């Protein structure tokens, strides 16, 4: 994004998760249903690393230098960069995660293509969003001009994100939802699917393009 509001909102961003600990823990619990615990992962839009740390994700990229500085304090291997031009080699990671960051990315299509590039064969892509189709998502959309964080955001429905994933060489494999009641005082157990929970996690697996399949077949024949 041309203007990054998070550079001047680091403390406010960190404090939000402290003040809304129950919501945060519910979101992390939903993410843990699909985020691998024993593979090399990248968070795209890592921010301060507030999610990567409990999820065990060691690598991240973010355009905000001030956010990245905090993430480094969490012992994460992070770089300043944008989702549309990731500073990593092809096939570097087993999975890539966008945790609400897709709504701040200028070119989501290019970002997903870049994520696909840095993923290994059958790598996984994971999105976590506030579902615009829910009452809470609609509330945030309606009132985003009043929010320091969401003023510049573009919210998505689950179907829009699924389409984005599938158009760029992935097959959706799992969805989980939580925060059916964002005002709850206890951590919510995530459930499969979507439609009632305002926070939705969507996971997809990388497909091989036809060209990649052809190259694999040719290499296999040569080696044989």
What does the mean pLDDT of the chain come to? 91
d(CA 25, CA 189): 10
pLDDT tens string 59-69: 999 999 999 99
Domain boundaries, the chain: 5-223
d(CA 135, CA 215): 47
Reference 189, options 18, 16, 19, 27; nearest CA is: 27
Task: Return the pLDDT at 7.
Answer: 85
Q: Which of the residues in the chain have pLDDT under 70? A: 1-5, 209-224
Architecture (CATH level 2) of domain 5-223: 3-Layer(aba) Sandwich (3.40)
d(CA 93, CA 119): 5
Which tokens belong to 132? 């615009």
Task: Return the pLDDT at 217.
Answer: 44
Task: Return the pLDDT at 6.
Answer: 81
Helices (H), 44-119: 52-55, 65-73, 108-118
């Amino acid at each position: 994004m041309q203007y990054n509001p998070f550079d001047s909102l680091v403390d406010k961003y960190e404090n939000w998760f402290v003040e809304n600990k129950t919501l945060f823990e519910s979101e992390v619990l939903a993410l843990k249903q699909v985020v691998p615990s024993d593979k090399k992962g990248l968070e795209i839009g890592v921010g301060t690393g507030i999610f990567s740390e409990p999820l065990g994700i060691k690598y991240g990229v973010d355009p905000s230098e001030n956010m990245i500085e905090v993430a480094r304090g969490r012992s994460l291997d992070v770089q300043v960069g944008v989702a549309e031009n990731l500073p990593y080699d092809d096939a570097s990671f087993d999975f890539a995660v966008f945790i609400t960051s897709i709504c701040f990315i200028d070119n989501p299509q290019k970002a997903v293509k870049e994520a696909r590039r840095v993923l290994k064969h059958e790598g996984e892509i994971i999105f976590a969003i506030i579902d615009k189709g829910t009452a809470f998502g609609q509330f945030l959309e309606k009132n985003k001009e009043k929010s320091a964080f969401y003023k510049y955001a573009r919210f998505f429905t689950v179907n829009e994100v699924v389409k984005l994933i599938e158009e760029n060489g992935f097959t959706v494999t799992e969805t989980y939802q939580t925060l059916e009641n964002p005002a709850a005082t206890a951590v919510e157990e995530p459930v499969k699917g979507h439609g009632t929970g305002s926070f939705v996690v969507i996971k997809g697996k990388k497909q091989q393009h036809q060209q990649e399949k052809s190259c694999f077949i040719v290499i296999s024949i040569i080696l044989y």
